[in-house]
Amino acid sequence: MKRIYTFLLAGLLVLSLSLVGFAADNDTLVIGTTDRVTELSPANSYDNYSWHVLRSISDALLKIKPKTNEVAPALAREWEVGPNAQVYTFHLVEGATFTDGEPVNAEAVKWSLERALRLDGPKGGVGLIKMIDKIETPDNSTVKITLDKPNATFLIRMTGQIAASLIWSPKSTPENDFARGDLTGVGPYKLKDFTPDQSVVLEAYDDYYGENAKTKTIIEVKYTQSAQLRSAIEAGDVDVAFRTLNPVDIKQLEENPDLETQSPEVLPSVRYMLFNVTDSTFKNERVRKAISYAVERETIVDQVFSGLAAPIYTMVPSPWSGSIDTFPEKDLEKAQSLLEKEGYTEDNPLEATLWFSPKHYGTTEADVAAVLQGSMNELPNVDIGVQSLEWGAYSARMGEGGFGMFLLGWYPDYLEASNFLQPWTTGSPEVLGTFFNHHPNYEAYERILDTALSTPNPDNRAALYEAVQILSAQDVMWIPLWSNLAQGYVISKPNVKNAFCDSTMDIRSWLMYKE
């Protein structure tokens, strides 16, 4: 084991030394990260960093305007939405070409979307666009999409935020197999090289239909640990450090006069506690509600994340439309009273286990679990233990209903309030461990969310989302805890411009450059 570790360190040192020249070259920008690509297959990948690389090399019909939540034109220059939000018509830009030189036309868009729907990989996010029922091409520059039922979130699902919505060349992309990096898009960059768990190299596409990438070559280097990433940005081996640095490191790097820090104002990254509402202990609503009064948020924010997080009292973070605080602040008297009414006393305490995964969300998870355990155990009639499992076993047991109370995190698939509410209630309640489809109020949530998704007016839709949040504070299938801001921090050399992370939880590589 020692020999292998030494070999890995030696390889990392060689890689770092080889990047020094590139980091000094204004035509090349080096980005360091601890994130990993799982698979460069739009129909079979479902993680932040794989999607980051994929959206660097191809566009979708629409995009999210930088530093906003606004849907903006991309391959579609304009669009119309039918009166009941079931038919969407997109008019394509003129002159766009894939990086293999083939034209981007209506048939290519149809081919690409239908390919994703057909392949629908078991590890992918194609389900996010599976409401597509029919794709028509009235002419060479028009794509008409009919959904199986009204869905007012479809436009935002057609942005590059969802990998399955990205458009690929029929000529150079395998039709009936996952691409695994063998794909050609219509993006600001081409994929020049990909070495798993080491690096991604992107090369600017000179004939891009939009604004050309500001840097000719982007090299993205993978580091095993955040401490290594910190050392790399301090040593000048990389121009930009992004996802993920430890909170303590970020605070110290902010004081480094040779570096610049871009901090996010708000991120849609939420962390929370979940309950299996069929669990023998937590099927009791009053027990779940008592725990919601007992949990500690401020200590997590201050002590675990050095202030680089924000306490939340709803699953829909502000400033998303429909966000409303509905969960209570800490109140141990109310918590104790609720539990006493259910027969829990000092002689007969509530005994339960809080589960967490020790590495999937970084190195701070054990500390978070300890804070939560301590805050709940302040109650004289409570005895909470903690246990952990590695992510593979954790996610499997979660889906089998094996946890009564456990921690999870969420980055939205698309930037709309329903994606913070639906998955655990009516979307995938068993996969995500709440088993809320067995709750007596399940059908009420289903009706509200189905109505919201068929409501084109955003204000009316927001009111329905508020209703779900109010109900959730009564039913307590979840307890919102904090929004993680640390993952949005970008550390860069002073001469790097446009190095920022916005609400998409991503950096825009094609906008960055060095002076």
d(CA 250, CA 254): 6
pTM for the model: 0.87
Architecture of domain 39-183: Alpha-Beta Complex (3.90)
Length of the chain: 515
Q: For residue 360, what pLDDT is reported?
A: 85
Q: Give me 315's structure tokens.
A: 């699953």
3-state helix/strand/coil string of 442-463: HHHHHHHHHHHHCCCCHHHHHH
Domain 1-34+188-265+486-515 sits in CATH at 3.40.190.10
Which stretches in the chain have pLDDT values below 70?
Answer: 1-24
Largest Cα span, the chain? 76
Cβ atoms of residues 363 and 226 within 8 Å: yes
Pairing of strands 478-484, 309-311: antiparallel
Domains 1-34+188-265+486-515 and 39-183 share a fold: no
Q: Domain coordinates of the chain in residue numbers? A: 1-34+188-265+486-515, 39-183, 270-484
Q: What is the DSSP letter of 166?
A: S
Q: How far is CA 80 from CA 89, 93, 214, 242, in A?
A: 5, 15, 32, 37
Any residues with CB less than 8 A from the CB of 260 and at least 6 apart, and which?
491, 492, 493, 494, 496, 499
Q: Give me 142's structure tokens.
A: 């028009």
Show the CA angle centred on residue 472, arms to residues 360 and 322, nearest 5°: 90
Query: Partners of 30 in the beta sheet?
Result: 219
Q: For residue 19, what pLDDT is reported?
A: 56
Query: Partners of 218 in the beta sheet?
Result: 29, 202
Q: Give me 49's structure tokens.
A: 């960093």
The dihedral through the CA atoms of 113, 114, 115, 116 has a sign that is positive
Q: How far is CA 230 from CA 1, 374, 440, 507, in A?
A: 25, 31, 49, 18
Task: Please give the backbone phi and psi of residue 117, each rounded to the nearest 5 degrees, phi first.
Answer: -65, -35
d(CA 159, CA 123): 20
User: Which contiguous run of DSSP H or E holds residue 64?
Assistant: strand 62-64
Give the homologous superfamily in CATH for domain 270-484. Answer: Dipeptide-binding Protein; Domain 3 (3.10.105.10)
Placement of tokens 């990047």 in the chain: 19
Neighbouring CB atoms inside 10 A of 262's CB total 18
Cβ atoms of residues 324 and 470 within 8 Å: yes
Cβ atoms of residues 322 and 461 within 8 Å: yes
d(CA 348, CA 508): 55
Q: For residue 13, what pLDDT is reported?
A: 45
Cβ atoms of residues 488 and 501 within 8 Å: yes
Cβ atoms of residues 125 and 158 within 8 Å: no
Cβ atoms of residues 483 and 325 within 8 Å: no
